[in-house]
Amino acid sequence: MNVLEQCGVHFTEVSSELTVQKWTVKENMTQINGILHGGLSAAIAEQGAGMGAVQLIQEGYAAVGTSLESHHLKAVPMGSQCETRAMPETVGGKLQVWRVEQCILPTEELFNVSTVTIYIKKMTYDDK
């Protein structure tokens, strides 16, 4: 189980065109002041883009995050229901760029927008 699964973040949709994750902001996800930690929302964004990127690659390759730009637009208090939606902007042979939007449910108020760049790497024996 990875750290985001331990926080209760789960996928509700996974495809090459869209990934959707949902979760509730819990105490272990917040800063001292009780709002969602920006680093965690960035990690969730990268996970969503990465899972989508994997749907587009061949066996023997890996999707590796190379760049993450995350803009925190609004504080998110503990107890908030949240959703992350990752969509491909550009899909090339070696690079993919994904746009990730995070919102508070049920209002769908945007609280974070991220851009994730993924490198498609051929796996070698040493990488496993």
Structural domains of the chain ordered from first start: 3-127 (3.10.129.10)
Strands 19-24 and 81-91: antiparallel
Q: Which candidate in 27, 46, 59, 108 is catalytic?
A: 46
- Say yes or no to pLDDT of 5 above 90: no
pLDDT, residue 95, reads: 97
Is 13 catalytic? The answer is no
- Order the strands of the 95-105 sheet from edge to edge: 10-14, 19-24, 81-91, 95-105, 109-122, 61-72
57-67: per-residue pLDDT in tens?
999 999 999 99
pLDDT, residue 128, reads: 58
93-115: per-residue pLDDT in tens?
999 999 999 999 999 999 999 99
Task: Report the candidate in 127, 118, 43 with the shortest Cα–Cα distance to residue 87.
Answer: 118
Q: What is the mean pLDDT of the chain?
A: 95
Task: Report the candidate in 90, 99, 97, 94 with the shortest Cα–Cα distance to residue 119.
Answer: 94
pTM over 0.95: no
**Which band of pLDDT confidence, cut at 50, 70 and 90, is reported for residue 80?**
very high
**Which band of pLDDT confidence, cut at 50, 70 and 90, is reported for residue 28?**
very high
Task: Report the candidate in 54, 58, 70, 80 with the shortest Cα–Cα distance to residue 116.
Answer: 70
